[in-house]
Structure 1
């Protein structure tokens, strides 16, 4: 049983190393072919990143990550999001408070500047 898990662990390590090597090669290729069209270079880089992610997702850690992402998506769906009216009202309150605090700080700065200039002479 432990021999099987060791073999799987080694295979996962090799897969992750291949994925990282692909990412490095993709970035290097992006800059190596700088005379080519940017669109072609970006599409090539995205293809390499997609293949690297695909390889990484076949590992044990990759499947754990996929499960975690699925659970996170389920939790996001369970959330109760504020309505548009609530969002607008909250945004306006935040803007008003920021303006009010800005005015208070400006007045404080003005009075402190006035006081220090009177004190210094």
Structure 2
């Protein structure tokens, strides 16, 4: 078996299906709800920091302090969301998507150029057809209205 045949056999091999993502999402707990609430509060706080924090905390008058507080709120919120079952399921989804992207057969440069020119040609022809229809309808409207 040549390298091309073995590579094709690997690319065409059935992908084992795991239901772990749906199982992870279904097994929520009270801790997950609390983490979601805290994360949402932090994300909402991050949107309000720039406007309201300088009035209550003097060092927040500096723009870099506010950027730091906003960044910290977002990072902590994302960390809390990662700690939930749904967050772990999302990370697993991203890892599975990465594996699938490695299996994609990408087009060659020539195929991409050819397809792009075909798309440009179809768009050009469609725009001319639509312009003709618009012109004809405008002429009909002028004919009836006067």
Considering the TM-score relative to the shorter chain, is it more than 0.5? yes
Deviations 1:10-61 (A, max 9, x none): 1121111111111111111132257542x55344323321111111111112
Q: Answer yes or no: is 1:103 the counterpart of 2:123.
A: no
The aligned residue for residue 47 of structure 1 is 72
Q: 5+ unaligned residues in a row in structure 1: which ranges? A: 1-7
Structure of higher RCO (CA pairs closer than 8 Å, 6+ residues apart): 2
The number of aligned residues is: 113
| Structure 1 segment 1-121 matched on structure 2, within 5 A | 9-33=29-53, 36-37=62-63, 40-114=65-139
- Offset, 1:113: 4.6
**TM-score, normalization by structure 1:** 0.73
Q: Which moved further from structure 2: 42-51 or 73-82?
A: 42-51
In the alignment, the residues of structure 1 paired with residue 44 and residue 137 of structure 2 have an alpha-carbon distance, to the nearest angstrom, of 56
**TM-score, normalization by structure 2:** 0.62
CA RMSD of aligned residues (A): 2.6
In the alignment, the residues of structure 2 paired with residue 116 and residue 25 of structure 1 have an alpha-carbon distance, to the nearest angstrom, of 56
